[in-house]
Structure 1
Amino acid sequence: MAAPSPQAIAELKEALGPDGWSEDADTLAPHLREWRDRWQGHTPLLLKPGSTAEVAAAVAICARHGVAITPQGGNTGLVGGQIPMGEVLLSTKRLRAIRDVSPLDDALTVEAGVTLYEAQQAALAVDRRFPLGLASEGTATIGGVLSTNAGGTSVVRYGMARDLVLGIEAVLADGRVFNGLKRLRKDNTGYDLKQLLIGAEGTLGIITAATLKLSPVLRGRATAIVGLEAPEQAITLLARAKAESGGGVEAFELMKRLGTELVLKWIPDTREPLESSPPWSVLIELGSGSPDEAGKALERLLAQAFEDGLITDAAIAANETQAAAFWRLREEQSAGLKPEGGGWKHDVSVPVSRIADFIEEASAAIEAFEPGARISVFGHVGDGNLHYDVLCPEGANLRPFLSRWADGSRIVHDIVARYDGSISAEHGLGRLKTDEARGYKSDVEIDTLKAVRKALDPHGIFNPAILF
């Protein structure tokens, strides 16, 4: 699309008022760079609407003038979908209201600019819990989390973002507002339109508010890190953990030794969790409705796993401080990799039963393609979502290594496809994977995706970088 005309810019400024837009370079700068420094964007105008009505007015103006819009939440995305390349940038950060809290409905309605952490705290204030958790929860916003259908660490028990939403409010491509902020668990009166908007990465509408599904607060929680010799042992241990806890597995996070070593190397105030430094480790968290139940279940699980030779080492958190230290080793995995100079990043999923097979096959293929490459694997065993990252061989030249990213990723993704997996399990497609994804989808699926997009955004003004 062409750059916005002076008339379109003037109308946008007038509609949003002096607090609702910016052209200042310093104000724009943090909105235009992605966290991993892979994309540096540019925009003629930053829009900062403070209400759904202002979002609707801005979108209507852009639609009338044929102006493309890139929506952005907390700018924590890792695939570049939130970075504008000449489009008008619309930030939802000023949509800050917590509109309604209904403990009896186990429902919380918040606007898109509320951070995930703030939503969690609003739930806790009424003795409820919003169980979606991410390492970036202090800055990731509800709008961004829902638009990418984020998963996080508790998917094994509570599901993805789309499983935790009761209703959605969104501005459509013609400026009309879809008001679907319901608190219902059951509504069989037609297509579930909110599910089209969740995970659409801002291509079908701009989410402005959501009604979230809450859960009871856990009265008991137990956390441990255990050592393993190989990933296949983690799959067996997960099945046992589910059975032992009666479905109370809150998190089950796999970590290869390299990632833990880099966290210990680069992230201050982190400590070795186990004496034996095993090649693989798993962070396990069980939850329960009573204070002692989770701890007892975890002790039984680990005792039997030791006896059967399934695990080689273990440490159970004695208190919340130690549990937080264990979690930090998992949550800082990406940050620990970053100082190593970059790598080939993969956010993939395969069936849980095939995780070990995938890791073995992909690692052998990468070693053959790039001898000496260092492979870091971490992720959510409970839902088959792995972050499979390939780092430059020690002492090698980084630039030619990074130039082979596309070919190396194709090797990994072809293996994922053979296992009936997905090349994007958690972060979406964005600028990074949109083109590549076409090669793994059937003509029928692509045609259907195009038809949905055409119906809701016929002129393609929303996030044109992501387009089937």
Structure 2
Amino acid sequence: MTPPGLTGRLREAVGDAGLVTDPGQLGGYLSDWRNAWSGAAAAVVRPGSTDEVAAVVRACGEEGIAVVPQGGNTGLCGGAVPDASGRQVVLSLDRMRRVRAVDPVNQTITVEAGVVLQAVQEAAAAEGCLFPLSLGSEGSCTIGGNLSTNAGGTGVLRYGTMRDLTLGLEVVLPDGRIWNGLRGLRKDNTGYDLKHLFIGAEGTLGVVTAAVLKLFPAVRSRATAWVALGSAQAAVDLFGIVRALCGDRLTGFEIMSRQSVDFVLRHGSGARDLFGAVHPWYVLVELSDTLPDAGLDGLLEAALAQAFERDVAADAVVAAGSAQVAALWGLREGISEAQNFEGPSLKHDVTVPVSSIPGFVERTDRALRAAVPGIRIVTYGHIGDGNLHYNLSRPVDSDDDAFRGRADELSRIVYDSTSSFDGSISAEHGLGQAKRDVIADYKDGYELELMRSIKELFDPRNLMNPGKVLPAR
């Protein structure tokens, strides 16, 4: 129920175009794209400027109404979905889609939070530059969401996460004030670097409205290979070989279990197996360079030759053109969608030290199979930075609801194993609602108290995306 007077104040702040009242249009704002999380809202507003965002936040604060910032709503942990009370206001940034400036000399781009990631990539490319963040959802996720979860993607190995790619932010604070930190400086030693408080905070400290992001020289040559391996240890060994020989040219190193590939081969349009034999693991390796003819195919072939000499690789193919490169990436990027055809998918996004990946996989697989004989383990991810998406599908011919009913138990197996290897239960998806409470068992208590202290400093009334990230006391 909307408090008396709030609707009028919101309409005054954003205009009729910025206030969503049609019940037929509300659904997309009140649940996530998987329909895994849903809620209700007192109102849905779509500000068109930073000043309008500030007016909305100020009005909600004065009425004691919580605000739930929302970008592309492509998250996996319910971080952008309101609760069921119907007393929260969803603040969508989907009208704030301006590219404010591109500076090729300073190698920066300034964009509003609602700009879709792919649009940032295209704006950079139009100036002969590269914005390197790349995700499966890049056609629909927004920069605000990428910042709020400190997104990583496939290029972290060379370019880092959003935390590394961000120079400055503009943020509306919980009291409606605007912090203008939109500075395109790479060196600024003037005290606390406040932007890092908001990156990864999932909207619990303020609403990110714009950002200055780093650009890089455009990539003009690539080499891509698909490699078959006998074990996760072989994948780590191959990573060491390629990194030692190729250095910073190594921009992608993606691992996939055979179960992952099987799902794509079964359900992916046009997907085909590249080798005659079945192998337990596969890796997609990609090199890139700013030179148009950098000899990357030869360099990658030299690395693979070393891998064969050391009995690390079982088979390999180097892509012979853009169509084959796309096909190889299709095998990797099609995993999540293909898994949806196999019943419920219990998703986990964890990270451990790269050197610990073989031991972690062996221990976790063993524990899961002991708990659920026949469970199908879909393991894939960015092995170069230790990030694995450890997804679980039910045994063949078993019951969907019974499998969903064991979600907490199976997650605990994955998280306990992750913790035993000094890892993190969230590498890039965030905590949201899904991991809000369980994080208390895996993060140091004093660290959580420090986080709460920061939250209380910025948002003492707990009106900014409450119920996310921080567990209840």
What's the TM-score bracket when you normalise by the shorter of the two chains? over 0.9
Residue by residue, what CA displacement relative to the aligned partner does 1:438-463 show, whole Å, maximum 9, x if unpaired? Answer: 11122211110000000111111111
Structure 2 residue corresponding to 1:84, chosen from 73, 82, 91: 82
1:275, distance to aligned residue in structure 2 (A): 2.9
Q: Comparing 359-368 with 78-87, which one deviates more in the overlay? A: 78-87
Q: Which 5+ residue runs of structure 2 have no aligned equivalent?
A: none
Report the counterpart of residue 157 of structure 1 in structure 2. Answer: 158
Report the counterpart of residue 51 of structure 1 in structure 2. Answer: 49
Report the counterpart of residue 70 of structure 1 in structure 2. Answer: 68
User: Does the residue aligned with 1:433 lie in a helix, a strand or coil?
Assistant: coil
Report the counterpart of residue 357 of structure 2 in structure 1. Answer: 355
Letter in 2 for 1:347: D
Residue by residue, what CA displacement relative to the aligned partner does 1:172-194 show, whole Å, maximum 9, x if unpaired? Answer: 00001110000100111111110
User: Does the residue aligned with 2:179 lie in a helix, a strand or coil?
Assistant: strand
User: Does the residue aligned with 2:306 lie in a helix, a strand or coil?
Assistant: helix
Report the counterpart of residue 367 of structure 1 in structure 2. Answer: 369
User: Does the residue aligned with 1:212 lie in a helix, a strand or coil?
Assistant: strand
User: Does the residue aligned with 2:279 lie in a helix, a strand or coil?
Assistant: coil
1:18, distance to aligned residue in structure 2 (A): 0.5
1:284, distance to aligned residue in structure 2 (A): 0.3
Structure 2 residue corresponding to 1:397, chosen from 396, 399, 407: 399
Residue by residue, what CA displacement relative to the aligned partner does 1:64-95 show, whole Å, maximum 9, x if unpaired? Answer: 11101111100110111111123211110100
User: Does the residue aligned with 2:55 lie in a helix, a strand or coil?
Assistant: helix
Structure 1 residue corresponding to 2:311, chosen from 309, 312, 320: 309
Report the counterpart of residue 330 of structure 2 in structure 1. Answer: 328
Report the counterpart of residue 25 of structure 2 in structure 1. Answer: 27
Kept in 2: contact 1:148–1:428 (CA 8 A): yes
Residue by residue, what CA displacement relative to the aligned partner does 1:357-416 show, whole Å, maximum 9, x if unpaired? Answer: 000000101111111111110000011000011110111111111101101111110111
User: Does the residue aligned with 1:339 lie in a helix, a strand or coil?
Assistant: helix
Report the counterpart of residue 459 of structure 1 in structure 2. Answer: 461
1:303, distance to aligned residue in structure 2 (A): 1.6
Q: Comparing 271-280 with 70-79, which one deviates more in the overlay? A: 271-280
Kept in 2: contact 1:276–1:313 (CA 8 A): no
Q: Tell me if 1:439 matches 2:432.
A: no
Structure 1 residue corresponding to 2:16, chosen from 8, 15, 18: 18
Report the counterpart of residue 419 of structure 1 in structure 2. Answer: 421
Letter in 1 for 2:346: W
Report the counterpart of residue 293 of structure 1 in structure 2. Answer: 295
User: Does the residue aligned with 1:40 lie in a helix, a strand or coil?
Assistant: coil
Measured in 2, the distance between the counterparts of 1:211 and 1:275 equals 48
Report the counterpart of residue 203 of structure 1 in structure 2. Answer: 204
**Match runs of 1:272-287 below 5 Å:** 272-287=273-288
Kept in 2: contact 1:223–1:283 (CA 8 A): yes
**Match runs of 1:83-162 below 5 Å:** 83-85=81-83, 86=86, 87-162=88-163
User: Does the residue aligned with 2:466 lie in a helix, a strand or coil?
Assistant: coil
Report the counterpart of residue 177 of structure 1 in structure 2. Answer: 178
User: Does the residue aligned with 1:6 lie in a helix, a strand or coil?
Assistant: coil
Residue by residue, what CA displacement relative to the aligned partner does 1:229-284 show, whole Å, maximum 9, x if unpaired? Answer: 10101101111111111221111000001111111212222222333232110000
1:295, distance to aligned residue in structure 2 (A): 1.6
Measured in 1, the distance between the counterparts of 2:32 and 2:271 equals 26
Residue by residue, what CA displacement relative to the aligned partner does 1:20-72 show, whole Å, maximum 9, x if unpaired? Answer: 11121221112222222211222221100000110000000011111011111
Measured in 2, the distance between the counterparts of 1:41 and 1:427 equals 20
Kept in 1: contact 2:307–2:313 (CA 8 A): yes
Kept in 2: contact 1:273–1:326 (CA 8 A): no
Measured in 1, the distance between the counterparts of 2:193 and 2:276 equals 51
1:287, distance to aligned residue in structure 2 (A): 1.0
Measured in 2, the distance between the counterparts of 1:84 and 1:275 equals 49
User: Does the residue aligned with 2:114 lie in a helix, a strand or coil?
Assistant: coil
Letter in 2 for 1:180: G
Residue by residue, what CA displacement relative to the aligned partner does 1:76-119 show, whole Å, maximum 9, x if unpaired? Answer: 10111111123211110100111011011000000011111100
Kept in 1: contact 2:380–2:389 (CA 8 A): yes
Moved over 4 A (4+): none
User: Does the residue aligned with 2:313 lie in a helix, a strand or coil?
Assistant: coil
Measured in 2, the distance between the counterparts of 1:277 and 1:168 equals 48
Normalised TM-score (structure 2): 0.97
Letter in 2 for 1:452: I
Kept in 2: contact 1:23–1:44 (CA 8 A): no
Q: Comparing 65-74 with 25-34, which one deviates more in the overlay? A: 25-34
Letter in 1 for 2:215: L
State, as a whole percentage, how many aligned pairs show the same letter.
47
Measured in 2, the distance between the counterparts of 1:336 and 1:161 equals 27
Normalised TM-score (structure 1): 0.98
Kept in 1: contact 2:154–2:252 (CA 8 A): yes
Kept in 2: contact 1:4–1:67 (CA 8 A): no
Measured in 2, the distance between the counterparts of 1:403 and 1:463 equals 28
